[in-house]
Amino acid sequence: MGKVSPHYQTGHPHAYINVMYMGEISICKVLSDPTNQIAELKAKTMPYPKPLQDAVIGYFMFESSFSLLLAEKNLDKDDISYIAGHAFRSISCLNQVIFALNGEYCINEKKAVRMIEGFHTKPNDYKKKIDQIITLISSNQDRTKEGIEILQALISETERLLNK
């Protein structure tokens, strides 16, 4: 139906997103389903619903850009933790966008960046660039700025993929 809601959840450093329930159903291996309830739910997960895809992309593309903006505006404030938090949030949102763009459910932040490497539609060298961003964020303001610039380029590249 295109309703996306993130929730704070221990163990999910970005958020627990209600869409993860559909993702879990889509990949589960049914061991017993005497009433066919799981099979019926599973059938609704494929193909990836267009209203959900549009909602995930719209919601998380905005948040990715907004978090980047906040990181950029604070590069000179001597607050590495704040910048790192926004960079992580921006990356996590990009992950959600790229999963949805590929018609895949992102059921967890864990391994999401690595999984994206196997997708057909993604920014070039996505994992390499994400690893580089995380490595650059440090007490060295110039290196942190470089990492944030790479993140800006990834967001721009993702936007171009959406407009194809």
List the pLDDT tens digit at each of the 164 positions of the chain: 788 877 777 766 677 687 888 899 999 999 999 999 999 999 999 999 999 999 999 999 999 999 999 999 999 999 999 999 999 999 999 999 999 999 999 998 899 999 999 999 999 999 999 999 999 999 999 999 999 999 999 999 999 999 98
> Which residues sit opposite 17 in a β-bridge?
6
pTM, two decimal places? 0.92
Residue 83 and residue 114: Cα distance in Å, rounded?
A: 23
User: Look-up: residue for tokens 């932040």?
Assistant: 109
The residues spanned by each domain of the chain are 6-162
